[in-house]
């Protein structure tokens, strides 16, 4: 057994605790439900939390507020045990011409999409370090591959998440902790439907499906399936990777 493995039974699959931020809806909700179905103890952190299932635990927390994050993580530890899996799915988009973008809007999007990851990783990390085993998955965005007009603040924040992922993977790998990012492509979520109604997609959903090699819109469950693999034992040799789930739109 090498130095990055642990004999601690607290890290057995059926007793691991996972925290999913932004887990009340969309991609985050699908991830929380999938991890619960996989047998993990799942806690959801969200501004408007909802349970991922009978075994789920939902807490209200603003990921931009470190005090709220720490309080929520402590509540998870008290109820479910040490945190060994963290999926950062909380996010917020925005559509504004850069020349007209107020700094307050820029800051808010960066706070949620980037600084929220910082707070949650730092808050959950002590348990993973103690166990010498951990899995962190950051949900970024396929917009980091090619950019997106009118979304400079969102693309900048999600691109930084990819960079943070790579740096943390190098730093935490020797401690038995893997860190990866999943940039979703064209996924059917409430956020996507709102963008379509606001005519921010550069066409309809059907138009984008026609430009997607697999000829369908993605489902939140597609992202959840990837996260399910990345947080498991079989993914222990995968870290620092940006794993696109986008139907072939970005290769």
| pTM, rounded to two decimals | 0.90
pLDDT at site 119:
98
Assigned domain for 242 exists: no
Output the domain CATH number for residue 172.
3.40.50.720
pLDDT digits (tens, 9 = 90+) for 153-164: 999 999 999 999
Assigned domain for 245 exists: no
Grouping H, G, I as helix, E, B as strand and the rest as coil, residue 22 is coil
Alpha-carbon distance of 31 to 102, in angstroms, equals 33
Cβ-contact 19, 85 below 8 angstroms:
yes
Residue with tokens 């935490």: 172
Grouping H, G, I as helix, E, B as strand and the rest as coil, residue 159 is helix
Q: How many domains does the chain have?
A: 1
Alpha-carbon distance of 199 to 210, in angstroms, equals 17
Alpha-carbon distance of 113 to 63, in angstroms, equals 9
- If you average pLDDT over every residue of the chain, what do you get? 90
pLDDT digits (tens, 9 = 90+) for 7-46: 444 445 568 999 999 999 999 999 999 999 999 999 999 9
H/E run at residue 19 = strand 17-21
Grouping H, G, I as helix, E, B as strand and the rest as coil, residue 73 is helix
pLDDT digits (tens, 9 = 90+) for 105-137: 999 999 999 999 999 999 999 999 999 999 999
Assigned domain for 146 exists: yes
φ, ψ of residue 137 to 5 degrees: the values are -125, 125
Mean pLDDT of 97-108: 97
Of 55 and 94, the structure prediction assigns the larger pLDDT to 94
Assigned domain for 83 exists: yes
Bridge partners of residue 21, in order along the sequence: 45, 88
Q: Is the pLDDT of residue 56 over 90?
A: no
Cα angle 35, 40, 45 (rounded to 5 degrees) comes to 70
Among the ranges given (160-174, 194-208, 225-239), the one the predictor scored with the smallest mean pLDDT = 194-208
Q: Which residues are identified as catalytic?
A: 154
Grouping H, G, I as helix, E, B as strand and the rest as coil, residue 179 is strand
φ, ψ of residue 225 to 5 degrees: the values are -65, -40
Domain ranges, residue 58: 12-187+220-235
Grouping H, G, I as helix, E, B as strand and the rest as coil, residue 251 is coil
Residue 242 has which token pair?
């940006």
Assigned domain for 21 exists: yes
pLDDT at site 10:
44
């Amino acid at each position: 057994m090498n130095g990055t493995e642990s004999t601690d039974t607290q890290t057995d699959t059926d007793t691991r605790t996972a925290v999913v931020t932004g887990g009340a809806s969309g991609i985050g909700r699908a991830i929380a439900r999938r991890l619960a179905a996989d047998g993990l103890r799942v806690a959801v952190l969200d501004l408007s939390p909802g349970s991922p299932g009978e075994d789920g635990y939902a807490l209200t927390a603003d990921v931009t507020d470190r005090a709220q994050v720490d309080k929520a993580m402590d509540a998870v530890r008290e109820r479910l045990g040490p945190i060994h899996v963290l999926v950062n799915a909380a996010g917020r988009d925005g559509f504004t011409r850069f020349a007209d973008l107020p700094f307050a809007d820029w800051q808010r999007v960066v706070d949620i999409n980037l600084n929220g990851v910082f707070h949650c990783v730092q808050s959950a990390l002590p348990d993973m370090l103690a166990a010498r085993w951990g899995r962190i998955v950051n949900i970024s965005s396929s917009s980091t591959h090619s950019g997106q007009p009118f979304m400079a603040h969102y693309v900048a924040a999600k691109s930084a998440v990819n960079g943070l992922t790579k740096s943390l993977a190098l730093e935490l790998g020797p401690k038995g902790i893997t860190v990866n990012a999943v940039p979703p492509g064209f996924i059917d979520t409430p956020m996507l439907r709102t963008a379509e109604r606001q005519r921010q997609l550069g066409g309809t959903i059907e138009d984008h499906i026609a430009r997607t090699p697999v000829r369908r819109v993605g489902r939140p469950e597609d992202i959840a399936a990837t996260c399910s693999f990345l947080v498991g034992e079989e993914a222990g040799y995968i870290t620092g990777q940006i794993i696109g789930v986008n139907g072939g739109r970005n290769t």
